[in-house]
Chains A and B, each alone.
Chain A
Amino acid sequence: MAAVAAGSRGRAALRLLRRRLIQAVPLMLGVVVINFCLIQLAPGSFLDLMTAENQVSDPATIELLRKTYGLDDPVWLQLVKYIWALMQFDFGFSYRQNMPVIQAISVHLPATLLLMVSSITLALAVGVAAGVVASVKVRTVWDSLVSIAAMFFFAAPSFWLGIMLIVLFSVKLGWLPVGGMATIGGVGGGVAGVLDILHHLILPTLALGLFYAAIYARVMRSSMLEVAQLDFVRTARAKGLSRNRVTVSHVLRNALLPVVTILGVQMGTVLAGSVVIESVFSWPGIGSLLFDSVSSRNYPVVLGIMVLGSLVVIAANIAVDLVYMWLDPRIEIR
């Protein structure tokens, strides 16, 4: 019976995955079109800056460059060409880095993904745990402490929190590095190298993750309190299950649904937040690349980051939908 149910859920998950992937196509198309048009609206072009930085004043040379970079085409044709290239996984060429866009991004993307994953993991672990404690110990000093901490980390700007963490843990105590992703000059590869990166990851993860942990703690607390009042929990208690078992197996699992929902929604904001944190901690992610690319009108890179960022968010939301189904078998997402 259980095997049949599991098989049925597996097929439902596959159907969901297929449907979401098909839906992602027009979504990505929309992302590309909107971002392309928004970028075109910004005054100044990368050609202006390129000719400026290279002191090119000859009109013929400028015209040649315009043609080389396809800027002499009408905007709609540029868009069509870009979409056609994207369909062949060609993200274009970054004149500024003098390399293909995908290569420029791939240099920085792993660092950003690492920061995002570690921050989300921290936020979930701390936020869920704090929310559970606050709801189980509701109206006690523990509940108040969680609420105060959540309010503090929710209100504190991440760049300020980052600098405060640096002052305390790096400058005053000297426990953790000020910035960067690894010790310059290296400590060797293997385990030592991994530990070195983890050492550098602690502060940026705290600065980015604690904000989301605060949100999850508040949501988790209220969700736990709400679910605890439902009939099936009362039934579980009436059956004589222990308090811990009721809390973990029945209340917690169902209370996680809202947290999982906002996790998917917030994937994009985590990516945006990493731009600020990367700046504070000199974390070599796509934040600095995006900042430089926007300020230099390096459109191919900006668009490439937007497209890849959207892909990450879409993938994360598909994963969230699958987790949803796992958490609550009654749900069949359409």
Chain B
Amino acid sequence: MTNGFSRRSFAAGAFGAGALAAGIIGKSGASLAQGTPKRGGTLVATWGGGEPQACYVPAGGGSSPTFSSSKLFERLGRRTMEGAFEGELAEAWKPAADFKSYAIKIRKGVKFHDGKDMTVDDVVYSIGEIWKKYAAAAALTDFAGVEAPDSDTVVVTFNKPVPEFFFSSLLCGNVNYVVPKHVYAGSDPVTNPANNSPTGTGPWKFKEWVRGSHFEYVRNDAYWRKDMPYLDRLIIRYVRDPAGRAAAMEAGDIHIGVFNPVAPPDIKRLTGTGKFVATSKGYEESVWSTSFEVNMRNPIFAKREVRQAMFFAIDRNLIAKTVYYGYARPGTSPIFSPNKEFFTADTFKTAFDPKKAAALLDAAGHPKQKDGKRFTLNLLAAGWFAENGKIGAIVKQGLEDVGVGINLTVPDRPSSIKRIYTDYDFDVAISNQANPSEPVPSTTQYYTSDGIKKGVPFRNASGFHTPEVDALVEKIKVETDPAKRKALVVEFQKITTLECPNLPLVELESITVASTRVQNHSNDPNYLAASWHDIWLAS
């Protein structure tokens, strides 16, 4: 899962005007891939956030290092825009009959940037030492071992049956890369100096990092995909200020910006010149939400009706329209609506209804007192995104309208992480989540007892857990029949929407802005984390 605080600069207000969004995005599709690829040239890219702490962070470290490292390293598999899984550094994989192990056939002829061959040893090391301990520690709880029975095959074994969708998603995970064993073995992967000048197998080779300015990558001439990449150089440039990014794009200094690089008015201005397109494609596997969590440690929330009342009192459409300028839609389920595999609309709905909220609070034994208040709560809006503070004001108004007193605070990022996920110092909180299609563990961990990990952000901070949900998630983890598994996930959604411990207020749309010269972009469902091997620049 992507860490929530990594997406710092969608704060730049880069969710544009709704009407504007529809028109702009409509233009983009045809321009993403046209004509015969042209060779050569330098592409300058940016993203809607800051410079990473390291070029590669084994545990992920957020979207910024994922963006920089994903051009240098590669995964065993990838997901296509159509939703299919296909091999990248693996040619194929298949489960054993009991689904307790998977055999991965490794692609031959792949070389690391230092000229050494990628072998099964590198894959075994990456899965056993990097994924298990850092990159996919939360997902690999039932991991039993990994070995290479021959020079072509790696076998991963588990203590329990593992669904194929889960395993395939694991191979495509954000930073589940194949790293060179000869560089990392015997060192602490977190502090290995190679993290700042990585050696991978990707289409781009690290050349230089000018701190505070940019990364410079050059074409990997020994890349295993024939005749790719098309470009000679890829520059990842960091511009902290969204207005500065817009100016740099308009001046032709930056060709493409992913993940909300500029403010909404600038999207309109740039696309209005006819030299840029904007698209919301390329984020299907990394949908973000703004969530509302209640702290079950407060006895007031022991009754389900009180939790439900909180959600009935909040106008999610207002949030989508005013805070995100229409670049968002009300959330209805912990599984987000673009998730074709598992989303269901058949859940308990908590659409804006202040009267119902008031009635639920009355019925739960919390009538209004003489001062007009039923009780008072501490609302913490996580300050890593500017939008959260604005949503906090809307939520405060909505809850106060039904007689719930609110003390709103908007601490900065470190304080928010500590108060929500370490100290549990909140009654209700506004936070953010980003989830891929596979619900285990990225989504389910917010609702299970094993998701309660003090000090680890973007886990179960509400403290909600029931034997019923724990058991259901355990079934989801091991159910290998896709249809039965989907039914279980639907059941999971029905229970969690009814219980209301932590639900999305809105699902967010992310935007890429690119020069019309840029071809073959936004063609991966997690484009920020894609390798960009086939991107090219038209004349």
The interface of chain A, by Cβ under 8 A from chain B, is: 42-46, 48-49, 51-57, 62, 96-98, 107-108, 111, 159, 163, 166-167, 170-171, 174, 177-181, 184-185, 278-285, 288-289, 291-292, 295-297
Contacts and interface: CB of A to CB of B under 8 A. Distances in A.
B33 interface: no
A288 B237 contact: no
Given A43-B414, A52-B421, A108 B53 contact: no
A53 B244 contact: no
A44 to B, nearest CB: 3
Interface in B129-169: 134, 137-138
Nearest to A43: B415
B401 interface: no
20 contacts: A43-B411, A43-B419, A44-B415, A44-B417, A49-B413, A52-B417, A53-B57, A55-B60, A57-B454, A96-B53, A108-B212, A111-B212, A171-B247, A178-B244, A179-B253, A180-B214, A281-B244, A282-B239, A282-B240, A289-B211
Contact of A171 (B134, B138, B211, B251): B251
A53 B212 contact: no
A166 B244 contact: yes
A54 B411 contact: no
Contact of B3 (A52, A179, A279): A52
A243 B5 CA distance: 65
Contacts of A96: 53
A310 B250 CA distance: 39
Contacts of B411: 43
B175 to A, nearest CB: 11
Given A43-B415, A45-B414, A184-B44, A280 B241 contact: yes
B134 A98 contact: no
B51 A292 contact: yes
Interface stretch (B187-195, B279-287, B511-519): B187-195
Q: Which 10 A-B pairs have the closest CB atoms?
A: A284-B212, A44-B414, A54-B59, A44-B418, A57-B453, A57-B456, A43-B415, A178-B248, A52-B457, A284-B213
Contacts of A289: 211-212
B235 interface: yes
Given A48-B422, A107-B212, 14 more contacts: A43-B411, A54-B59, A55-B137, A98-B191, A159-B241, A184-B210, A185-B235, A280-B241, A281-B244, A282-B213, A282-B238, A284-B213, A288-B51, A289-B212
Given A54-B59, A163-B247, A289-B212, A295 B413 contact: yes
B53 A97 contact: yes
Contacts of B239: 179, 282
A178 B253 contact: yes
Contacts, number: 150
B233 interface: yes
A296 B6 CA distance: 12
Interface in B407-465: 411-415, 417-419, 421-422, 453-457
A314 B54 CA distance: 33
Nearest to A166: B247
Interface in B5-53: 5, 42, 44, 50-51, 53
Contact of B42 (A46, A166, A177, A185): A185
B341 interface: no
Given A178-B247, A184-B44, A295-B414, A52 B456 contact: yes
Contacts of A295: 412-414
Contacts of A51: 455-456
B247 A53 contact: no
Contacts of A292: 50-51, 53
B211 A108 contact: yes
Interface string B259-293: 00000000000000000000000000000000000
B61 interface: yes
Interface residues of B, number: 57
Contacts of A291: 240
A116 B224 CA distance: 48
Interface string B51-72: 1011001111110000000000
Interface of B: 3, 5, 42, 44, 50-51, 53-54, 57-62, 134, 137-138, 190-191, 193, 195-196, 210-214, 216, 233, 235, 237-241, 243-244, 247-248, 250-251, 253, 411-415, 417-419, 421-422, 453-457
B210 to A, nearest CB: 7
Contacts of A44: 412, 414-415, 417-418
A298 B149 CA distance: 45
B347 to A, nearest CB: 29
Nearest to A62: B455
A107 B211 contact: yes
Nearest to A108: B212
A185 B50 contact: no
Contacts of B61: 53-54
A146 to B, nearest CB: 30
A130 B54 CA distance: 47
Contact of B60 (A53, A57, A180, A278): A53
Nearest to A176: B251
B531 to A, nearest CB: 21
B239 to A, nearest CB: 5
A158 to B, nearest CB: 12
Nearest to B252: A174
B436 to A, nearest CB: 16
Contacts of B53: 53, 96-97, 292, 296
A206 B379 CA distance: 44
B38 to A, nearest CB: 19
Contacts of A184: 44, 210, 213-214, 216, 235, 237
A288 B60 contact: no
Contacts of B196: 98
Contacts of B191: 98
Contacts of A163: 241, 243-244, 247
Contact of B418 (A48, A159, A181, A288): A48
A46 B53 CA distance: 13
A44 B62 CA distance: 18
Contacts of A174: 251
B63 to A, nearest CB: 11
Given A179-B248, A284-B210, A56 B240 contact: no
A292 B137 CA distance: 27
B258 to A, nearest CB: 17
B216 A185 contact: yes
A284 to B, nearest CB: 3
Chain A CB within 10 A, most for which of B3, B190, B191, B213: B213
A179 B413 contact: no
A52 B420 CA distance: 12
B54 A98 contact: yes
Contacts of A171: 247, 250-251
A111 B212 CA distance: 10
Nearest to B419: A43
Chain A CB within 10 A, most for which of B190, B214, B216, B414: B414
A177 B25 CA distance: 29
A174 B191 CA distance: 43
Chain A CB within 10 A, most for which of B62, B138, B241, B418: B241
B418 A55 contact: no
